[in-house]
Structure 1
Amino acid sequence: MHVSGDDLQSPRTIPVQRGGVTARNRCRSRSPHVVKSIHADWLYGESSYLARPLCRTSLTLSVRADLDIGFGTWRASLGLWDDGAVRSSWSPLRTKWRGTGKRHTFSTTLLWEFAQVPLRSLSMQVLRHLPTSALAPLTLLLVGALQIGCSDSNISLEDLEAAAAKLETTAGEDADAGAAVMEILDVEKPNLKFGFIKLTDCAPLVIAKEKGYFEEEGLNVEIEAQSNWKVLLDRVIDGQLDGAHMLAGQPIGATIGFGTQAHVITAYSLDYNGNGITVSNEIWEQMQENDPALKSDTPPHPIPATSLKPIVDSYKQEGKDFNMGMVFPVSTHNYEIRYWLAAAGIHPGMYTEENIQGTVDADVLLSVTPPPQMPATLEAGTILGYCVGEPWNQQAVVKGIGVPVTTNYDIWKNNPEKVFGVTKEWDEKHPNTHLAVIKALIRAGKWLDATDENGVLVNRQEAAKILSGKDYVGADEDVIDNSMTGTFVFQETDVRPMPDFNVFFKYYASYPHYSDCIWFLTQMRRWGQITEGKPASWYAETAQEIYKPEIYRKAAAMLVAEGKASAEDFPAEDYDGYRDVTTEFIDGTPYDAKDPVGYVNGFEIGNKDPESLAKQ
């Protein structure tokens, strides 16, 4: 029986006759025992077809290898399942096939069941107590099973029975060892497409794909770069994307109706920190003239905007616009550059119902520029500085066109930056799929923040190499490596260790804290994106509508049960979602998420609300 893309409909089961199957990858079963079904995924352009296996069970043990061959990188997988089946797969990770501008991907999973082999004896219960020493012979058993299914082999069924019996005996001798077993969720939608912008903080999505964490959760994920944040959000809302790497403010802005109206939620925070503010060489030289301390090869940090204020005032007196860039109206970058400017008495402008550009009373005009275009826009003189994520601050240094003057770690230590967002409707239709995605992202975050016994990040160089690929960030590996490996280059003479410039998991960075959501709401109110005062209770209730720690906690509990995480990796069960009150801002203003009205009123520049709202 031959299977082609034209034969597949979504979803249906393809019966396979006794005696074998020939699939597109030319793997042919020669065993008379049994191909029972074929599970094939066929992706062509925007079309997706899925032929489901006859049944879904839990994976007991899997063996996987990635092979570089002449026409790309392929993944060979072999798994033992608790229904006694051995399944293998041969699928492309990265291929060199291109045609009519579309990507072609084809993978098959063949299922063998050996009627005379007691593979059920290698069930969950036995493997739960399997010692490490038994893994090697079990791997040989699985390889032997594959050989019977796909090639002529000298290994007999009797050999397999003997190997299985030996393993069962060994397992019985060590019944108290205790090992967790992975639970495969019954995902509603296995084929997914996620969007991202070319920034290093898309790393958890990329790593979850490249390290096979999505695949291990039964997900076939494509991640696709988007041209800008608006396009990305619109495509999530209209269903072209299942979810996306989002600005932390995007689910919030969409849900409260600033700009596009849609209920978007997040159950996963992708990272802390990761942004910087860069000014042109000309502006930097003028800042040095205003503050002689900045003329040092290693000037003191953090650098406030006080030395920028006389320059802005001069532009204003001469009737010239002082233009700076940020990436989106509800981006962390917008609020961070506003915070930095306002802390030095520079007015960044107000939003009103009539002025959605946020330029009312502005000393500095802030405009939207897509992140990858920031350096070129600065070099062209269209803007005089910008706030953006990496690698686009480091790119300005490499190109010699600008100087990063501060990072958002200095504006607000360990501030939330990006999230993984989906619509509420999508979550309600695909709860298990969403849970599987969060599990994979948690594992990716842990991998990114893994350290050795000396606290040195051990996986970041590999991450930088992966992210530098043209399908991901597409910047030079050396440029990405700067910040990802715990250093930040302000100037050629000023290279500083910043181990927490990118934080993906530690400090509970991936947890969706209500207090983080409330901070964004306070900034939206401070600058007029929320046009009228709100009671304190509204801030808390809105955060609960958007941030979903209950999904995160469920995923975390599953990973702990599977032995892939420890309970200490996550906040305590009685944690209420509010981080401690902090003064770790560039101006020292304390932030208490349980007093949002008082926080908004505590700034010299920005909206003020009646104190009575604080008690409501």
Structure 2
Amino acid sequence: MSDASSRFSRRQFTASALALAGAAGISPLAMAKGKYPEKEALKFGFIKLTDCAPLVIAYEKGFFEEEGLFVTLEAQANWKVLLDRVIDGQLDGAHMLAGQPLGATIGFGTKADIVTAFSMDLNGNGITVSNEVWAEMKKHLPVKDGKVEHPIKADALKKVVDAWKKEGKQFKMGMVFPVSTHNYELRYWLAAGGLNPGYYTASDISGTSKADVLLSVTPPPQMPATMEAGTIHGYCVGEPWNQQAVFKGIGVPVITDHEIWKNNPEKVFGVTADWAKKYPNSHVAVVKALIRAGQWLDASPENREEAVKILSKSQYVGADAKVIANSMTGTFEYEKGDKRPAPDFNIFFRKYATYPFYSDAVWYLTQMRRWGQITESKPDSWYHDVAKKVYRPDVYMEAANALVADGKIKASDLPKTDGYKPVDNGFIDGVAYDGKKPNDYLSQFKIGLKANDKV
């Protein structure tokens, strides 16, 4: 009998709500308050990336079951399909790009009210270039003790792009979705090096207006093959698809997103606002299980090694365990053989990684405005209102406080916050980010829209 079948049989065997609570580990206090899930059988979607790990671990380690949930996980073809299936109810929720709930809510692309009460991880992406491009970039990079110095800024890439322009050649790079972290991180890195990544306009929804580097959408697992074919010359993607380029010998990761923006929020768990309203107890139960999964992932090196083996299974990421381990176990390999310590490449629980900060939402909205996805200037209040509509720390705290009461996590694991992080100076260009002052933040950039600018 399969694991899924045996789990279903066990749940069918439960004859009463009280018995279910005992078998699944739901606290008697929760039962007394009527906090058991309104909907128990749930289907969640994910994309084959290592940062789907909280969903996978919550499933494999039985954390969902312990919250009284029978969960099915289903890999999705791409981010658009995943979002559409959450919106139309085929999926109860999903592993999402941090920008997806925000983009949907403001109507960039598909219009729908999506909320998130859980941040799945910090960091986890990289930017990779082809061997040809790397050979040219390397000529302009400082070397110490026989190794290229890091972090590598896009200034070196600008010299390559400028040379290509003189030859009449276009420079093309891939990212995974228009409202993806990858799109904004890649644009941020390029612009910090003096390269314009292009603007979105009413007549150019590709985001390539006035671009020095042409960016296009490519599904994550297809990134290495697309670059190998010469369709793109580099890309920004999550793991394991940067390390895959190293293993295949077709490209070199030049920088991680942790080096672009230290401890940046990467993915979230999203549901429709209607679903959250209809099934509040189920929502809290899901978040509880996911918090526990994040804690488990960060608890020990041994847990990470076990997670690598689980994620390598075909129904999850489906990449070689060695490739996944290259970034999941505290290291990251750049040029072949240049493996460096990267203890914070993936963070799933530490540094309040799971908390949905309003300031994270505001940052994504500033980048949507910077590159024209938000076509007109907005007052600071608008950014805060959207952030508070989409991000649900109230749900998170209900789940987290219940875990504290049950002795599953410590009160010190939770931030004392108004939803906004302190001023952030962890960006590669040295620009400080104050989430409470989005328009002041935008005014600091040489490349990008600000105030009343239009393309």
Question: Normalised by the shorter chain, which TM-score bucket?
Answer: over 0.9
| Partner SS for 1:434 | helix
What's 2:440 paired with? 598
CA distance in 1, matches of 2:34, 2:56: 21
* Cα distance change, pair 596–52 in 1 and its aligned pair in 2 (3 A): farther
Name the counterpart of 2:341: 497
User: Which stretch shifts more, 181-190 or 360-369?
Assistant: 181-190
8 Å contact 2:56–2:311 — kept in the other structure?
yes
- Secondary structure, in 3 states, of the residue corresponding to 2:281? helix
Is 2:148 the partner of 1:299? Answer: yes
Residues 1:522 and 2:371 are matched in the alignment: no
Q: Which amino acid aligns with 2:337?
A: T
Note if contact 2:355-2:396 (Cα within 8 Å) is conserved in structure 1. Answer: yes
Q: Does 1:579 align with 2:428?
A: no
CA shift, 1:519, in A, is: 0.2
Structure 2 distance, partners of 1:40, 1:399, is 39
Unpaired runs of at least 5, structure 1:
1-23, 26-38, 44-49, 63-78, 83-123, 126-179, 452-456, 612-616
Deviation of 1:561 (Å): 0.9
Partners of 1:559 and 1:370 in 2: how far apart? Answer: 36
* TM-score normalised per structure 1: 0.70
Q: What CA deviation, in whole Å up to 9, does each residue of 1:157-203 have, x standing for no partner?
A: xxxxxxxxxxxxxxxxxxxxxxx999994211111110000000000
Query: In structure 1, what residue type is equivalent to 2:302?
Result: V
CA 1:279–1:410 in structure 2 vs 1: closer, same or farther (change >3 Å)?
Answer: same
Could you give the per-residue CA deviations for residues 260-284 of structure 1, whole angstroms, max 9, x where no partner exists? 0000000000000000000000100
Q: Judge conservation of contact 2:376–2:452 (CA < 8 Å) in 1.
A: no
The residue type paired with residue 323 of structure 1 is K
8 Å contact kept, 1:58–1:183: no
Q: How many angstroms apart in 1 are the aligned matches of 2:43 and 2:123?
A: 26
**Aligned counterpart for 1:328 among listed residues 177, 202, 213:** 177
Distance 1:436 1:339 in 2: 36
Candidates 12, 32, 56, aligned match of 2:17: 56
Q: Could you tell me which residue of structure 2 aligns to residue 369 of structure 1?
A: 218
Per the alignment, residue 65 of structure 2 pairs with 215
Query: What aligned pairs does 1:177-192 form with structure 2 within 5 A after superposition?
Result: 185-192=35-42
| Change in CA separation of 1:81 and 1:522 when aligned onto 2, cut-off 3 Å | closer
Instruction: Give the C-alpha shift of residue 321 in structure 1.
Output: 1.4
Taking the aligned partners of 2:353 and 2:268, their CA distance within structure 1 comes to 10
Q: Secondary structure at the match of 1:57?
A: helix
The aligned counterpart of 1:390 is 239
Query: Matched residues in 2 for 1:474 and 1:595: separation?
Result: 42
Deviating more after overlay: 270-279 vs 561-570: 561-570
> In structure 1, what residue type is equivalent to 2:153?
P
Q: 1:351 offset after TM fit, Å? A: 0.6
Misfit runs of 4+, over 3 Å: 39-43, 50-55, 58-62, 79-82, 180-185, 294-297
1:137 aligned residue: none
Larger radius of gyration between Structure 1 and Structure 2:
1
Whether contact under 8 Å (2:252, 2:336) holds in the other structure is no
Question: 1:196: which partner in 2?
Answer: 46
The within-5 A match list for 1:21-36 is none
1-side partners of 2:7 and 2:413: how far apart?
37
Distance, in Å, in 1 between the alignment partners of 2:299 and 2:7 is 35
Q: Secondary structure at the match of 1:503?
A: coil
Q: Alignment partner for residue 485 of structure 1, among 329, 350, 375?
A: 329
Name the structure where helix makes up a greater proportion of residues.
Answer: 2
* Structure 1 residue 81, shift from structure 2 partner: 9.6
Decide which of 565, 569, 577 is 2:413's aligned counterpart.
Answer: 569
Question: Conserved in 1, the CA contact under 8 Å of 2:26 and 2:68?
Answer: no
Residue 517 of structure 1 deviates from its aligned partner by 0.2
Asked if structure 1 preserves the Cα contact closer than 8 Å seen for 2:117 and 2:356, the reply is yes
TM-score, L = length of structure 2: 0.94
Mapping of 1:73-112 within 5 angstroms? Answer: none
2:287 corresponds to: 438
* Aligned residue number for residue 137 of structure 2: 287
Shift of 1:571: 1.1
Could you tell me whether the CA contact under 8 Å between 1:255 and 1:546 is conserved in 2?
A: yes
Q: Tell me the CA shift for residue 319 of structure 1.
A: 2.4
Deviations 1:430-481 (A, max 9, x none): 1111111000000000000113xxxxx3310000000000000000001101
Structure with the greater relative contact order (CA < 8 A, sep ≥ 6): 1 or 2?
Answer: 2
Aligned Cα RMSD in Å? Answer: 2.5
Q: Secondary structure at the match of 1:544?
A: helix
Q: How does 1:339-350 map to 2 (within 5 A)?
A: 339-350=188-199
Amino acid paired to 1:496: R
Q: State the alpha-carbon separation in 1 of the partners of residues 166 and 99 from structure 2.
A: 34
SS in 1 for 2:224: helix
SS at structure 1 position matched to 2:254: strand
> 1:227 is matched with which residue: 52, 57, 77?
77
Checking the alignment, whether the CA contact within 8 Å between 1:403 and 1:490 is kept in structure 2 is: yes
Q: How many residues align structurally? A: 450
SS at match of 1:405: strand
Which residue of structure 1 lines up, in the alignment, with residue 248 of structure 2?
A: 399
Q: Give the equivalent residue in structure 1 for 2:96.
A: 246
**Residue 216 of structure 2 aligns to a residue in which SS?**
strand
Per-residue deviation, residues 334-371 of structure 1 (Å, max 9, x unmatched): 00010000001101000111111100000000000000
Q: Quote how far apart the aligned CAs of 1:59 are.
A: 6.4
Q: Does 2:394 align with 1:550?
A: yes
Aligned partners of 1:309 and 1:296: how far apart in 2? 25
Please state how far the C-alpha of 1:608 moved relative to its aligned partner.
1.6
Whole-angstrom CA distance in 1 between matches of 2:237 and 2:12: 43
Cα contact 1:273–1:414 (8 A) shared by 2: yes
Identity %, equivalent residues: 63
Which residue type is aligned with residue 491 of structure 1? E
Query: In structure 1, what is the Cα distance between the partners aligned to 2:145 and 2:337?
Result: 9
Distance 2:153 2:140 in 1: 12
Give the distance between the partners of 2:229 and 2:146, measured in 1 at CA: 26
Name the structure where strand makes up a greater proportion of residues: 1
1:337 pairs with 161, 186, 189, which one? 186
Alpha-carbon separation, structure 2, partners of 1:438 and 1:194: 13
Tell whether the 8 Å contact from 1:59 to 1:184 is kept in structure 2 after alignment.
no
Paired residue secondary structure (1:541): helix
Deviations 1:195-251 (A, max 9, x none): 000000000000000000001111111111111100000000011110000000000
Could you tell me how far apart the structure 2 residues matched to 1:58 and 1:533 are? 56
Contact 1:182 1:562 in 2 (8 A): no
Code of the residue aligned with 2:170 in structure 1: it is: D
Report the secondary structure of 1:246's partner residue: strand
SS at match of 2:262: coil
CA contact (8 A) 1:348 1:364 kept: yes
Q: 2:450 aligns with which of 601, 608, 615?
A: 608
Per the alignment, residue 474 of structure 1 pairs with 318
